[in-house]
A and B are shown apart, each in its own frame.
Chain A
Amino acid sequence: MSGGKLYGLMAEFENPNDLVAAAREAHEAGYVKLDAYTPYPIEALTEALDIHDRKLPALVLFGGILGGLCGYALCYWTSVVAYPLNIGGKPFHSAPAFIVPTFETTILFAAFAAVLGMLGLNGLPMPYHPVFNTPRFALASRDRFFLCIEARDPKFDHDETWAFLTKLGPRVVMDVEE
């Protein structure tokens, strides 16, 4: 794990409040390529890091509409166009009956859009990530809170950023190698 390129600098905090405060300061200091790592979702971080992503709801809406259209189209095409059959004297286009499959495909497509969209936008699956190179990072899924400023941030400078992070009162600041 040694000798690699530097990915960034990581600061470890003991409680969420410190992290949120640190994240806000880092953001306000002009760092853009930075991320916080927490064992549970903290809403305040979103605002502190100014994360705005509205893509997912739009994707889900699209998925739902597509699902609904596909579902109804399937029912309509098979029952009216492909092989119209007199079934119990019901009209070929039995709209009320078609609503049920349509509803279900709507939900199904939307749910797939939500899950796949979330994974895709998050870039998952990503079993390898530089942050895992830091041994202490295992605690990010337990009880520690991390703030990482990436080396590709235009404002990044190893020593300067190190000093900046140290100033935020972390438990420890670490190098993260690629």
Chain B
Amino acid sequence: MQIFHRSTNTISRVSVFGAVFFLAFLLWLFDALNRSPYTTQQGVARVQPVQFSHKHHVGSMGLDCRYCHTTVERAAYANIPSTKTCMNCHSQIWNQSPELEPVRESWRTDRSIDWVKVYDLPDFVYFNHSIHVAKGVGCETCHGRIDQMPLVSQHPNLQMSWCLDCHRNTERYLRPRDEVFTMGYVPAGNQEAIGEQLKSEYRIRPVYELTDCSTCHR
């Protein structure tokens, strides 16, 4: 007795074969989602209480990073500037601008401005700005062209493999110390060659030390 129609032969083969691909697709989808900006927030501009433009302050006016982020060379954190830093200038210029009302309010009420954190590492990751700056890692390497960002977004995906990439291949990213705060830095020659030279000059630790877990996790 024939139970199945002739077409079931094709259907059954296709579905058996297709199930494998479907599963593979689901796994791929999951992985892609995990690497996508949806998860990593990479490149997602954040709305801030004050529409502070790095493009204007850095790109147009040429302020040095360290004018505001004063502790970047000394401490693990590159601090978010205090209201006082803003008021240094904005008590004089644009001191009536409605855009800057939150700043003036903060100054009046002594309450902090409520910024949204853009670069948010998990709490079990210990990143230290000062050592990276001291070893010739440019701001731009991790933060991108800040001077072209009206609103700051996260430049890299901040996933562990991204961190490891640099810790394994320091020569591809190092720049001379005096170029650390430069935006749009172009190596004067072959980056790999310069990088190798800087590596020995700055006494960059070998890869097996830089990729030790305790370098970042403790």
Contacts and interface: CB of A to CB of B under 8 A. Distances in A.
Is any CB of A less than 8 Å from a CB of B in the complex? yes
Contact of A132 (B2, B7, B12, B13): B2
A133 B7 CA distance: 15
Contacts of B9: 125-128
Given A83-B211, A84-B208, A125 B13 contact: yes
B8 interface: yes
A135 interface: yes
Given A83-B211, A84-B208, A127 B1 contact: no
Interface string B1-30: 111111111001100100000000000000
26 contacts: A1-B2, A83-B164, A84-B208, A86-B208, A125-B9, A125-B13, A125-B16, A126-B9, A126-B12, A127-B3, A127-B4, A127-B8, A127-B9, A127-B12, A128-B2, A128-B5, A128-B6, A128-B7, A128-B9, A132-B1, A132-B2, A132-B3, A133-B2, A135-B1, A137-B1, A138-B1
Interface in A127-160: 127-128, 132-133, 135, 137-138
A125 B208 contact: no
A168 to B, nearest CB: 25
A109 to B, nearest CB: 15
Contacts of B6: 128
A97 B3 CA distance: 52
Contacts of A1: 2
Nearest to A86: B208
A interface residue count range (under 10 / 10 to 19 / 20 to 34 / 35 or more): 10 to 19
Contacts of B208: 84, 86
A34 B16 CA distance: 28
A127 B12 CA distance: 8
Interface in A67-86: 83-84, 86
B75 to A, nearest CB: 30
Max chain B Cβ within 10 angstroms of own Cβ: one of A86, A125, A132: A125
Nearest to A135: B1
A132 B4 CA distance: 9
Contacts of B4: 127-128
A139 B1 CA distance: 10
A44 B1 CA distance: 28
Contacts of A127: 3-4, 8-9, 12
Interface string B50-61: 000000000000
A86 B5 CA distance: 60
A147 B68 CA distance: 91
Contacts of B12: 125-127
Contacts of A128: 2, 4-9
Interface string A79-107: 00001101000000000000000000000
A139 B13 CA distance: 26
Contacts of B7: 128
A112 B9 CA distance: 21
A176 to B, nearest CB: 11
Contacts of A137: 1
Contacts of A86: 208
Contacts of A133: 2
